[in-house]
Amino acid sequence: MRRLETDYRFITKDDGVTIPVQYDAFKLALTKEFAIIQGPPGTGKTYVGLKIVETLLYNLYEVPHREKLQSSKYQL
């Protein structure tokens, strides 16, 4: 899967990552080829990982279809 560019604006329904350190990990994982997210229990590693996957899937499946529909002359 192609990684997102560093200046790419992440398109999510609601990324929900509000803690600055978690957002840094979220952004790093989406913009670098390889990222390690580590920390003690309860720091949100699993949550951030799920948000990363959700963002990738959202951009892969929902965004292209939405743009295609918006550019269509047959809009609802």
| Stretch 43-56: mean pLDDT | 91
Structural domain range at position 75: 1-76
Residue 47 pLDDT class (50, 70, 90 cuts) = very high
Instruction: Report yes or no: 11 and 63 within 8 Å, Cβ to Cβ.
Output: yes
| Domain count for the chain | 1
pLDDT band for position 14 (cuts 50, 70, 90): low
Residue 41's pLDDT is: 96
Q: What is the pTM of this model?
A: 0.65
pLDDT at 2 over 70: no
Q: Which residues contact 11 (CB under 8 A, 6 or more apart)?
A: 55, 58, 59, 63
Closest CA to 15 of 6, 27, 7: 27
Over the stretch 23-46, which tens digit does the pLDDT of each residue have? 889 989 988 889 999 999 999 999
Q: Positive or negative, the Cα torsion across 70, 71, 72, 75?
A: positive
